[in-house]
């Protein structure tokens, strides 16, 4: 029995260690992968997941003491990219590394263009090769479409097909579902199972614990560069996995009854053609209204209209009882509305600028001395204040925002908007790309803000997020609010089923 | 059929082609001189040089770069090649072409070296080399033109000649050379693995690097290709005007750039085609020719060209802005 499992493994890594300067990024980690297994690599940001993948794929050279065994009887101390590729190790990074201006077929066959640069470009052959790969996954996709015209989910499939043409044995997928809707995620999981059935070992890196437990047979948990352990997923709960990753038990408790303060925001019959229709909502002081809906349900569009980025075709927006006609988001900001966009990386922050500059951006006018002089000191005082209040972890407030982890970047976005002291805070998918420990921290902040009297509109597509953090839940489907739920009267599973129905 | 047309022609190309056909029909009706063999042959003769430039520049644009030094580089090639050939007994078409391609590619290689080695954006490097090439040329030539050319170079080679009612309609050698350069550029860009690498790099440089593309070599190939095209164009221009004037091509780079961009090449890289570049040059040439035949002041030409470019580019950008918005419908793709 033991012998049989031994001949079954695709990869065994022993004592994986990697040091950057005097920082130990990975400390004596063992990792085992069976052939055809779906395995999950879990851990918070900075726990060493990416470092481990890069050691295995040869992007980084492992420190002495590391052993790689691919079951071919040859032990290796370190990997090179070429060697990894020859052994069938492929990584699909989150950015997918596709070429938007090439067709699906050309993307899938790109490695051939590199290998046979001087050969004639045989359009027919590359289309046939691409079709074979797509057929293996059972996905119908037009091979002549440009990748720029595909959805993220379709691009993911193209990236997988490109890997399939290289005869893979081990495929790492970095956060493959971060930008997919539930239906698209389900489609991807079907594909992953197909790959596994064809004997390919798939290693999944994901922040979404529900899907981790659903798809994988075993999960290897890393924390602070060290191995916590490798566990079968059968019988494991999300709470337990969270505890393994973060080292603490995160409480999940439904909020108390809605506070009965003054109405901050009221909309009546708000509509915008093709985006949302007849939306009437109210949010009171100190209340968190959870707005749940799938990507494309119109939630972001609604938020943008509330924030003055687009104008409604019909209906009213009232702030504090007064009817509003926002001409731009500057009007909305003046009326005490703040909007934390779901696209933190591009819209929420200026990545190359410092934490200070990003934080001060919304309130530059109020920082001016004598009405025209902007001092560094004023900006720093403001930034330091918010760093302390939101418990942001930043080595230096002059660092560019891009140097921070997802959770801390999100705190900078929050700080930037909280500095405007808004009455209504719109949070659009505030935990995208934020790992599980940091999520809890962000929700802690949200609860504190609500307790201090701020009205909050929390937009999300994850049932657990709104269930445990909102006072009331509104369900949005194809542009309309179709139902309201009391978090105390519904379970996570029920809500999930309703959202995805 | 509809589908075929759409896959065969990019939106910009089909728009330019339609516009071109419309203008040509209009001119044929409005003038009795436009649609004559003589006029059409002259159009091709007069635009062979620009077309050769455009084909070279297209490759650089698709690659995601830009080059504004190629026109003055062509002047350098003319001067150097003619002086060298005169030194060594005059040469012939073969040695002249080989030398022009060699010197042109070397000048392009200088651009490639700085752009790749120091990772400086191409517009800055080529503004610098534009000034260096032109400055050195004017300094060493003292602005003097060369009128004494080797005999083979000053003789015009006739490809086709018809006797028509309006007189002789003649097609000269540069037209054939232009067609060959177009074929070679088409084979490079659309018919080889290398071409897919060039488009791929222009579309997503980091992904190309990760896929194992030899980025340095590609830089030399792309900028060298434009340099070689510039060399050929320079030699053809000497053959047409029968003299070497050091500042004759100065300023041509912007005309060519405008035409190629009009033909659908994107400044960000990744998009552009040989057909589009050719259509772009021809469209502007036909407009100029038409205005000329209609007796419009030549000063109006520049303004009209500017307006055509604005109209064409802004309507295409409308489309791409819409595309961006559509892609932006799921901006979570950018989250990490």
State the nearest Cα–Cα gap between A56 and chain B, in angstroms: 16
**Residues of A contacting chain B (CB within 8 angstroms):** 94-95, 97-102, 106, 110-121, 144, 148-149, 151-152, 175, 178-179, 295-296, 341-347, 406, 429, 432-433
At B327 the pLDDT is 39
At B177 the pLDDT is 96
- Taking only the tens place, the pLDDT of each residue in B18-45 is 989 999 999 999 998 898 989 999 999 9
Answer yes or no: do A72 and A139 share one domain.
yes
At A14 the pLDDT is 93
At B112 the pLDDT is 97
End-of-domain residue from the set A218, A246, A274: A246
Answer yes or no: do A46 and A147 share one domain.
yes
In a domain, residue A444? The reply is: no
Separation of alpha carbons A439 and A468, rounded Å: 12
B62 to chain A: closest CA residue: A101
- Taking only the tens place, the pLDDT of each residue in A360-410 is 888 877 777 777 777 788 888 888 888 888 788 877 888 888 877 777 888
Residue B319 predicted with pLDDT over 70: no
Q: How many domains does chain A have?
A: 3
Answer yes or no: do A163 and A223 share one domain.
yes
What value of ipTM does the predicted structure carry? 0.85
Q: Are A438 and A407 within 8 A, CB to CB? A: yes
For residue A367, give the nearest of A377, A352, A353, A355 by alpha carbon: A377
Residue B333 predicted with pLDDT over 80: no
- Taking only the tens place, the pLDDT of each residue in A266-311 is 999 999 988 999 999 999 999 999 999 887 788 889 999 999 999 9
At A7 the pLDDT is 47
Binning pLDDT at 50, 70 and 90, where does residue B74 land? very high
State the nearest Cα–Cα gap between A181 and chain B, in angstroms: 9
Q: Which of B190, B204, B329 sits opposite A98 (nearest CB)?
A: B204
Separation of alpha carbons B138 and A248, rounded Å: 75
Task: Please provide the DSSP assignment of A2-50 as one string.
Answer: HHHHHHTEEEEEEEEEEEETTEEEEEEEEEEEETT-EEEEE--TTSSHH
In a domain, residue A254? The reply is: no
Which positions in chain A touch B328 (Cβ < 8 Å)? 343
Average pLDDT over residues B202-228: 93
Contact A110 B206 (CB under 8 A): no
For residue A312, give the nearest of A269, A264, A266, A263 by alpha carbon: A269
Residue A5 predicted with pLDDT over 60: no
Q: Are B77 and B103 within 8 A, CB to CB? A: yes
At A96 the pLDDT is 87
Residue B328 predicted with pLDDT over 50: no
Binning pLDDT at 50, 70 and 90, where does residue A2 land? very low
Answer yes or no: do A120 and A142 share one domain.
yes
Q: What percent of chain B shows pLDDT beyond 70?
A: 90
Which positions in chain B touch A341 (Cβ < 8 Å)? 331
- Taking only the tens place, the pLDDT of each residue in B240-254 is 999 999 999 999 999
Residue B52 predicted with pLDDT over 60: yes
At B10 the pLDDT is 63
Contact B196 A121 (CB under 8 A): yes
At B324 the pLDDT is 42
How open is the CA angle B313-B314-B317, to the nearest 5 degrees?
85
Answer yes or no: do A80 and A189 share one domain.
yes
Residue of A102, A145, A188 best to disrupt the B interface, most CBs of B under 10 A: A102
Binning pLDDT at 50, 70 and 90, where does residue A55 land? very high
A112 to chain B: closest CA residue: B193
Contacts of residue A150, defined as CB under 8 A and 6 or more positions apart, other chains included, come to A104, A141, A158
At B316 the pLDDT is 62
How open is the CA angle A479-A480-A484, to the nearest 5 degrees?
135
State the nearest Cα–Cα gap between A90 and chain B, in angstroms: 11
Q: At B119, is the secondary structure helix, strand, or coil?
A: coil
What range defines the domain where residue A417 resides? 344-421
Q: What percent of chain A shows pLDDT beyond 70?
A: 97
Phi/psi class of residue A48: alpha, beta or left (left: φ > 0; alpha: ψ in -120 to 50)? left
Q: Per DSSP, what are the bridge partners of residue A457?
A: A289, A426
Q: What count of CB pairs under 8 Å joins A to B? A: 111
Answer yes or no: do A265 and A357 share one domain.
no
CA A353 from chain centre, in angstroms, equals: 22
Listed ranges A18-27, A133-142, A276-285, B95-104; the one with the highest mean pLDDT: B95-104
End-of-domain residue from the set A246, A272, A299: A246
State the nearest Cα–Cα gap between B225 and chain A, in angstroms: 15
At A90 the pLDDT is 93
At A176 the pLDDT is 85
Q: Are B270 and B71 within 8 A, CB to CB? A: no
Contact A295 B200 (CB under 8 A): no
Binning pLDDT at 50, 70 and 90, where does residue B329 land? very low
In a domain, residue A445? The reply is: no
For residue A475, give the nearest of A467, A483, A486 by alpha carbon: A483
Answer yes or no: do A209 and A106 share one domain.
yes
Which positions in chain A touch B333 (Cβ < 8 Å)? 152, 179
In a domain, residue A461? The reply is: yes
Answer yes or no: do A184 and A272 share one domain.
no
Answer yes or no: do A63 and A199 share one domain.
yes
Q: Look at the block and give the residue holding tokens 């851990």.
A: A43
Answer yes or no: do A225 and A269 share one domain.
no
Query: Which CATH number characterizes residue A165's domain?
Result: 3.40.50.300
The residue among A210 and B176 whose pLDDT is bigger is: B176
End-of-domain residue from the set A246, A280, A306: A246
**Residues of B contacting chain A (CB within 8 angstroms):** 7, 190-197, 199-200, 202-204, 206-208, 210-213, 269-271, 323, 327-336
Residue B335 predicted with pLDDT over 60: no
CB atoms within 10 A of CB A21: 6
Computed over every residue of chain B, the mean pLDDT equals 88
Q: At B15, is the secondary structure helix, strand, or coil?
A: helix
Residue A26 predicted with pLDDT over 70: yes
HSE-CB for A256 with a 13 A CA cutoff: 6
Which positions in chain A touch B334 (Cβ < 8 Å)? 179, 343, 345-346
In a domain, residue A289? The reply is: yes
Answer yes or no: do A412 and A486 share one domain.
no
The residue among A80 and A347 whose pLDDT is bigger is: A80
At B9 the pLDDT is 55
Binning pLDDT at 50, 70 and 90, where does residue B186 land? very high
Contact A178 B332 (CB under 8 A): yes
The residue among B293 and A1 whose pLDDT is bigger is: B293
In a domain, residue A118? The reply is: yes
Q: Look at the block and give the residue holding tokens 């001016």.
A: A368
In a domain, residue A96? The reply is: yes
Q: Which of A59-73, A433-447, B74-88, B154-168 has the lowest mean pLDDT?
A: A433-447
Which positions in chain B touch A114 (Cβ < 8 Å)? 193, 197, 211-213
Q: Which of B207, B334, B335 sits opposite A99 (nearest CB)?
A: B207
Report CA Rg, chain A. 25
Computed over every residue of chain A, the mean pLDDT equals 86
pTM: 0.76
Average pLDDT over residues B284-289: 92
- Taking only the tens place, the pLDDT of each residue in A167-190 is 899 999 988 887 777 778 888 888
Contact A99 B330 (CB under 8 A): no
B200 to chain A: closest CA residue: A99
State the nearest Cα–Cα gap between A111 and chain B, in angstroms: 6
At A249 the pLDDT is 62
Average pLDDT over residues B158-172: 88
Answer yes or no: do A31 and A157 share one domain.
yes
Stated as kind and residue range, the H or E segment containing A425 is strand A424-428
Distances (CA, A) of A289 to A264, A484, B312: 12, 10, 47
Q: Which of B197, B269, B329 sits opposite A113 (nearest CB)?
A: B197
Contact B196 A111 (CB under 8 A): no
Average pLDDT over residues B306-318: 73
For residue B96, give the nearest of B157, B186, B142 by alpha carbon: B157
In a domain, residue A208? The reply is: yes
């Amino acid at each position: 029995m033991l012998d049989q499992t031994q001949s079954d493994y695709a990869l065994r890594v022993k004592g994986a260690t990697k040091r950057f300067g005097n920082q130990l990024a990975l400390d004596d980690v063992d990792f085992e992968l069976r052939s055809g297994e779906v395995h999950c690599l879990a851990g918070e940001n900075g726990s060493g997941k990416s470092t481990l993948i890069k050691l295995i794929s040869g992007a980084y050279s492992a420190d002495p003491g590391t052993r790689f065994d691919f079951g071919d009887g040859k032990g290796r101390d370190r990997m090179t990219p070429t060697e990894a590729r020859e052994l069938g190790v492929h990584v699909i990074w989150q950015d997918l590394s596709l070429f938007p201006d090439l067709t699906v077929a050309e993307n899938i066959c790109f490695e051939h263009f590199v290998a046979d640069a001087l050969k004639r470009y045989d359009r027919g052959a590359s289309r046939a090769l691409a079709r074979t790969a797509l057929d293996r996954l059972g996905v119908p996709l037009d091979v002549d479409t440009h990748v720029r015209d595909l959805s993220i989910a379709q691009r993911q499939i193209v990236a997988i097909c490109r890997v399939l043409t290289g005869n893979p044995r081990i495929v790492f997928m970095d956060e493959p579902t971060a930008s997919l809707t539930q239906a698209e995620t389900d489609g991807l999981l079907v594909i992953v199972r197909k790959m596994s059935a064809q004997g390919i070992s798939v290693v999944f890196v994901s922040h979404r614990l529900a899907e981790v437990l659903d798809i994988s047979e075993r999960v290897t948990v890393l924390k602070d560069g060290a191995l916590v352990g490798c566990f079968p997923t059968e019988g494991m709960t999300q709470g337990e996995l969270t505890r393994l990753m973060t080292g603490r038990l995160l409480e999940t408790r439904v909020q108390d009854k809605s506070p009965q303060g003054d109405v901050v925001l009221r909309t009546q019959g708000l509509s915008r053609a093709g985006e949302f229709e007849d939306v009437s909502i109210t949010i009171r002081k100190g209340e968190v209204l959870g707005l749940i809906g799938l990507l494309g349900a119109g939630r972001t569009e609604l938020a943008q209209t509330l924030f003055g980025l687009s104008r409604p075709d019909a209906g009213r927006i009232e702030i504090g009882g007064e009817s509003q006609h926002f001409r731009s988001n500057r009007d909305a900001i003046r009326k005490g509305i703040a909007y934390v966009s779901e696209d933190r990386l591009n819209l929420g922050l200026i990545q190359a600028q410092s934490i200070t500059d990003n934080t001060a951006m919304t309130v530059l006018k109020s920082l001016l001395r004598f009405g025209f002089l902007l001092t560094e000191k004023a900006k720093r005082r403001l930034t330091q204040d918010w760093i302390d209040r939101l418990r942001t972890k930043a080595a230096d407030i002059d660092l560019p925002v891009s140097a921070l982890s997802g959770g801390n970047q999100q705190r900078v976005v929050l700080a930037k908007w909280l500095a405007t002291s808004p009455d209504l805070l719109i949070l659009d998918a505030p935990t995208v790309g934020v790992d599980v420990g940091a999520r809890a921290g962000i929700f802690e902040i949200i609860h504190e803000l609500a307790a201090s009297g701020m009205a909050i509109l929390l937009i999300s597509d994850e049932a657990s997020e709104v269930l445990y953090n909102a006072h009331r839940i509104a369900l949005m489907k194809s542009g309309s609010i179709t139902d309201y739920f009391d978090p105390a009267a519904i379970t996570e599973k029920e809500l999930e089923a309703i959202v995805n129905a | 059929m509809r589908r075929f047309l759409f896959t065969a022609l990019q939106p910009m190309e089909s728009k330019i082609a339609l516009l071109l056909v419309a203008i040509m029909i209009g001119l044929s009706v409005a003038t009795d001189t436009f649609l004559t063999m003589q006029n059409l042959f002259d159009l091709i003769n007069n635009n062979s040089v620009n077309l050769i430039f455009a084909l070279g520049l297209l490759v650089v644009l698709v690659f995601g770069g830009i080059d504004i030094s190629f026109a003055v580089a062509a002047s350098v090639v003319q001067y150097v090649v003619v002086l060298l050939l005169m030194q060594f007994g005059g040469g012939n078409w073969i040695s002249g072409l080989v030398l022009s391609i060699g010197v042109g590619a070397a000048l392009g290689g200088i651009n490639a070296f700085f752009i790749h080695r120091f990772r400086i954006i191409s517009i800055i490097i080529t503004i610098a080399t534009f000034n260096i090439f032109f400055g050195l040329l004017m300094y060493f030539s003292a602005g003097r033109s060369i009128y004494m050319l080797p005999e083979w170079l000053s003789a015009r080679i006739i490809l086709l000649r018809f006797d028509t009612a309006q007189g002789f309609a003649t097609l000269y050698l540069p037209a054939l050379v232009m067609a060959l350069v177009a074929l070679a550029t088409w084979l490079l860009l659309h018919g080889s693995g290398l071409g897919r690498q060039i488009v791929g790099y222009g579309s997503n440089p980091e992904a190309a690097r990760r896929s194992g593309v030899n980025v340095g070599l590609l830089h030399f190939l792309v900028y060298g290709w434009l340099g070689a095209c510039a060399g050929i164009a320079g030699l053809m221009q000497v053959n047409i005007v029968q003299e070497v004037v050091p500042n004759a091509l100065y300023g041509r780079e912007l005309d060519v750039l405008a035409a190629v961009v009009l033909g659908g090449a994107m400044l960000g890289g990744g998009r552009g085609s040989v057909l589009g570049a050719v259509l772009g040059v021809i469209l502007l040439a036909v407009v100029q020719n038409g205005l000329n035949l209609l007796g419009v002041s030549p000063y109006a030409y520049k303004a009209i060209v500017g307006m055509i470019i604005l109209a064409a580019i802004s309507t295409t950008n409308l489309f791409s802005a819409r595309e961006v918005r559509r892609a932006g419908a799921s901006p979570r793709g950018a989250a990490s």
